[in-house]
Amino acid sequence: MTDLTLVKSTGIPLKLPSNLFSCLGLKHLKLSYCCFCPPTSFNGFPNLLSVDLSNVEFERTQFGEFITKCPVLEILKVGDPGKVNLQITMKVDQIAKLVNLKTLSMCLRDFENNAITSFTTIFELLGCLPRLQELHLDCLRSGGAIERIPTTFSCLKALELSQIDLSNVIILSCVFDMIRHFPNLQTLNIKAHNWIADPVPLPEVEYSTTRLRHVVFTDFPGSENEVCLLKYILACSPFLRKIVMRPLWRVTTGEQLMFTKKLLKLHRASTAAEIDFN
């Protein structure tokens, strides 16, 4: 067996059969609403290429210890813990051992303090993953001010940030830093937090050219912080083809029109760039 998908949504979490942990040829594993409880003799899946976990409970072994026993892993996705407590005690140095990782997707809502809880640790982690091409982070926290990052990460081509509080000036600054330090980034998806906070001083932005082609904003409330971010993207992206704007449900037609007028006045480095509201 090389592929296994076990998805459950209600009732008691499914306890995985013990013989699963002897399937050393397993390459793709997807689990939802399960209890991951391997025997003490379990030494990992040496051929596992992808792991997709959502609502999974770890008992006898910590999650970080498990992934370090998957040496050729290329795709790691950890979804929202939801109803089941996902006991994540994974540290940055544990993910850093996954040198073949190409896609990393993580919900950080219930991570402990010794794991990935800030943009600073994210940059530290990226420096250890030379092959990473896609990064999706959900529920980021500011984690205090970030030091200037001297390194660029050339491999990353797709970035998705969900539940981002753009009213937080530290987080907004770090989003700028991410775009600037991913010089070959082509796709950017941002799902904003669904409120409009009181105005805050906008960060000073150091402009640099990007290779962005496609940008999607979801649940945007039309704040000045978003205008600031879009101004940067439009001005620094000569290869940009389209920005898709999906407004927050409570944004009125009049507010959307005012926001659109502001965007139309912004300079565009790409003459082909379109802004699509839907």
pLDDT at 137 over 60: yes
Model confidence over 265-274: pLDDT tens digits? 899 999 999 9
CA distance linking residue 222 with residue 91, whole number of Å: 36
Is the per-residue pLDDT at 85 higher than 50? Answer: no
Chain mean pLDDT for the chain: 81
The answer to whether residue 276 scores a pLDDT higher than 70 is yes
State both tokens at 188. 């950017």
- pLDDT score for 83: 43
Q: Where are the domains of the chain?
A: 1-117
Provide φ and ψ at 139, rounded to 5°.
65, 55
**Which H or E run contains 56?**
strand 50-58
Rank 54-63, 122-131, 146-155 by mean pLDDT and report only the highest: 122-131
Q: At what angle do helices 169-181 and 119-126 cross, to 10 degrees?
A: 20
**In the structure, what pLDDT confidence band is assigned to residue 113 with cuts at 50, 70 and 90?**
very low
For residues 103-111, give the mean pLDDT: 76
pLDDT tens digits, 153-190: 889 999 999 888 888 787 888 888 888 888 899 999 99
Quick one: pLDDT at residue 142?
Answer: 61
Most confident of 2-6, 37-41, 111-115: 2-6
**How many whole angstroms separate alpha carbon 109 and alpha carbon 142?**
12
CA 190 – CA 217 distance, rounded (Å): 5
Residue 271: partners with Cβ closer than 8 Å, 6 or more residues away:
none
Residue 167's CB is within 10 A of a number of other CB atoms, namely 20
What is the percent of the chain where pLDDT is above 90? 31
**Is residue 56 predicted with pLDDT exceeding 50?**
yes
Task: Tell me the per-residue pLDDT of 197-215, one tens digit each, with 9 for 90 and over.
Answer: 555 566 677 788 999 999 9
Judged by average pLDDT, the poorest of 19-28, 30-39, 179-188, 234-243 is: 30-39
Confidence at residue 46, expressed as pLDDT on a 0 to 100 scale: 94
For 222-259, the pLDDT digits (tens) are: 788 888 899 999 999 999 999 998 887 666 777 778 88
Does residue 215 or residue 196 have the better pLDDT? 215
